[in-house]
Chain A
Amino acid sequence: MIKVKINGQEQSWDGDPDLPLLWFLRDEVGLTGTKFGCGQALCGSCTVIVDKEAVRACITSVNDVAGREVTTIEGLHPNGDHPVQKAWRQVNVPQCGFCQTGQIMQAAALLMDNPKPSHDQIREAMSGNICRCGCYQRIENAVHLASTGV
């Protein structure tokens, strides 16, 4: 039996320990804010925060996070008012929106690590997250806004 804390709540799993965290979150726990985009850690749609680090849930097994603390988009802020979320809304970032939860989690992890990133640092840190609609200009501006106060 694997135990893992997700958004502050303990969850347990006695199935395949190799099950990717992504599918555990989405299909077993029912937290669908974390998205499937590629399954190979190439697009960042499934980004969650494990302890304080952004990880790709599609190549992280449930076993890998045993005993650790996972934060998904649903647990980022109780009212959805994390500075990154607020900045996203202020800049009207999303088009289809599908990749945006992963983008937001990546940005939140960046700001935990580096509260005042430069534009180059933002572009570098966010380049693992693909947006096919092409919202990059706004994502960059929103991360910058979140880092300077929303």
Chain B
Amino acid sequence: MNFIDNPGKLRGFEKNIKVEKVSRRSILKGLGITGGFVLAAPVMSRQALAYETGAGKMPHGVVVDPRIFVSVAPDGIVTIVGHRSEMGTGVRTSLPLIVAEEMEADWSRVKVQQAHGDEVKFGNQDTDGSRSTRHYLIPMRQIGASARTMLEQAAAKRWGVPATEVKAVNHEVVHSASGRKLGFGELAADAAKESVPAIEGLKLKDPKDFRYLTKGQIGIVDLHDITTGKARYGADVRLPGMKYAVIARPPVTGGKLVSFDPEAALKVPGVEKVMKVQGWPWPSKFQPLGGVAVIARNTGAAIKGRDALKLTWDDGANARYDSVAYRKELEEASRKPGLVVRKEGDAEAALKGADKVIVGEYYLPHLAHVAMEPPVAVADIKGDKAEIWAPVQSPGGTREDVAKTLGIPEGNVTVNVTLLGGGFGRKSKCDFALEAALLSKELGAPVKVQWTREDDIRNGFLHTVSAERIEAGLDKNGKVIAWRHRSVAPSIASTFAAGTVHQAPFEIGMGLVDMPFEIANISCENPEAAAHTRVGWFRSVSNIPRAFAVQSMVGEIAQATGRDQKDMLLELIGSPRIVKPNVKDLWNYGEPQDSYPIDTARLRKVVELVAEKGGWGRQVPKGHGLGIAAHRSFVSYIATIVEVAVDDKGKLTVPRVDTAIDCGTYVNPERIASQIEGAAIMGLSLAKYGEISFKDGKVQQKNFDDFQVIRMDESPAVTNVYIVPPGPDTPPSGVGEPGVPPFAPALINAIFAATGKRIRSLPIGKQLEA
């Protein structure tokens, strides 16, 4: 099937690509599923929560079954399964917390158990797309309510009273008429015999009775272990007899090994073996690149051995990939008409008739994720059984891919999900786990494959490179009457299918065709761009270049017309309304537009809130400037104000950042703040330093010395976060990613306010020093 025509399946969509003839969902339905209720979409039991999400359309959908997610021990300890991957967002805390809230469990007597990769059992596990709370708030509440109901029923039976007379309160069930109480532990065995109540009849708690949700006082469950070194990440898994492997991979995407000489490597103390690793032709989704592995008794010896290898590569067709030349190609393409992906009115004619046309050409290079934990995985393959330990964002996908790569049934593969030392989209691709599986199978021993930082930067799945060109036509009153945005970038789909030259619906849906401005004549175009390396999801994905271009252009229009940036932004957003772009398949982050419309009232609200709280228009010292940007992504609304200071030598500092987010109904505001604080750092990193460039097909950067990220001495002095209180029935929306896109354009608008210099190409690098 052609996944590009199937936007509902994108992002996590790779699973659907694999099944060519029969959809996985229809297979699932045919089996009738044992032990769980698989819902097409969560069923709501309270009118106030009646909204639908795209959760049911994800591979394997949603499972609502307390028997799978909750267990109560006789000592009262409640164990709740966390089925999503923890990479720093706090999801391993927040989803179980929802269950605990709804079942009236005392959080101090709750343990969280990490699910292994099994989507038939747990439902979809792809931890990406800022989806976990959005898709699981209601299902987790339903699971908690089911467990509570079963405990209440068990108590009522024990006492011989109607179930309506008993109530679970703080880890016990109470019969207030008689004053009798039974702890959850005392009821555990009986409750397990109760039938699971129908979802439709479940009574969810009134939000005013919440003890944990929205309160913001809950630390993450791994906090103590993290601060004492006990937290177990992928790299920390150790098995008896385990070998350590480091791999030399082709330096050019699609390159092949011609020959290798292992002699010097084998002389390194601790090195035990040198062996070839199977590679797949490019593109082939997440399959390994192949190369040569050095097997040793410890990682240090394996790295030293790898460095001693003599290798000859055939670099293949991408050996000519050169970022300087490629930038020219992209920019030239952006100056010519391309595939029209959104059309309203007649932008061409309106631009011709405009009083003034402002043109902005923006360029954003490739980026590497550089999660602090480089890719790493442990595999133990015994016969036709495989066990994997890995920091993966896609435990279910990893299980499928390991099974397919080894040619064994999926049921024979166990994927143990460790903590992730950062993910940012990189660990949605399980190539490193596949490498470990291949090596373990061949060696007949458990193997840990450790990527070095150099491997991570040179052999990853990079954020795309992009040229964005916007032409804005103004009438004689300075009103914008025409908008033409051409976006040219290699697509993530190119990692799945050779010959891909257009962006997929999920990519054009990130800030290009869903642009919310109230303008009569709009044309969004996507000229062709071929990929020459592996392109993949990077936190907030295509929203980075789109928000940068669109929000920089708002600043440019304000600049050209002598208006205040914020006023200009609000004028362009226009009246409070639901935007329905003229687009064939509006991706909308996989969510139904009824529940998650493009609502300009909410976008206006975050702009107004951040302007008020962040002191927009305040007097700043000489050399300082304020910039603003707003963007809707992952169906959340965010606006950011950045204050910059630029000294005489062009040194840039950021004294203050203010961000307002409307993410609908939320769980743990403390973690929302931490995500937004972190997004400011990531935004500043990519704006100031972020660039991966190619020459002769090879990545020119190698480590944190030449692919720099922000350190504490350059980080914003303070980041303030304001969360819009949700309406009673506002569906939850994304938090992990939306903080990133508005940061860079707000920064660039602030730099213009401070210096009069308009930066259109990232990274900023030395541009301010000129």
Contact = CB atoms under 8 A, between A and B. Distances in A.
Contacts of A89: 219, 223-224, 227
Interface residues of B, number: 69
B238 A24 contact: no
A31 B374 CA distance: 18
A130 to B, nearest CB: 6
A45 to B, nearest CB: 6
Contacts of B704: 38, 40, 42-43, 130
Interface residue SS majority, chain A:
loop
Contacts of A80: 224, 227-228
Given A96-B420, A134-B678, A135-B674, A36 B89 contact: no
A20 to B, nearest CB: 5
Contacts of A122: 712
A85 to B, nearest CB: 5
A35 B270 CA distance: 21
A137 B235 contact: no
Contacts of B714: 127
A32 interface: yes
Contact of B682 (A15, A16, A128, A134): A134
B26 to A, nearest CB: 37
A140 B300 contact: no
B372 A43 contact: yes
Interface in A90-112: 92, 94-101, 104
Nearest to B680: A134
Given A26-B299, A89-B219, A95 B373 contact: no
Interface string B213-238: 00000011011101111111101101
Contacts of A101: 226-227, 229
Given A16-B270, A35-B421, A38-B704, A136 B301 contact: no
B269 A16 contact: yes
A131 interface: yes
B219 A92 contact: yes
Contacts of B301: 15-16, 19, 23
Contacts of B681: 131, 133-134, 136
A24 to B, nearest CB: 7
B730 interface: no
Contacts of B228: 33, 73-74, 80, 85
B373 A139 contact: no
Interface in B692-720: 703-705, 709-716, 718-719
A85 B677 CA distance: 21
Contacts, number: 196
B229 A95 contact: no
A101 B450 CA distance: 19
A132 B372 contact: yes
Nearest to B231: A97
A8 interface: no
Contact of B370 (A20, A97, A132): A132
Contacts of B236: 26, 32
B492 to A, nearest CB: 21
Interface of A: 15-16, 19-20, 22-24, 26-28, 30-40, 42-43, 45, 72-74, 80, 85, 88-89, 92, 94-101, 104, 122-124, 126-140
22 contacts: A15-B297, A16-B270, A19-B301, A26-B235, A27-B244, A27-B298, A27-B300, A35-B372, A35-B421, A36-B374, A37-B373, A39-B453, A40-B705, A43-B704, A89-B219, A92-B220, A95-B89, A95-B90, A96-B87, A96-B421, A132-B682, A134-B678
Interface of B: 86-90, 219-220, 222-224, 226-233, 235-236, 238, 244, 268-270, 297-301, 303-304, 370-374, 419-424, 450, 452-454, 670, 674-675, 677-682, 703-705, 709-716, 718-719
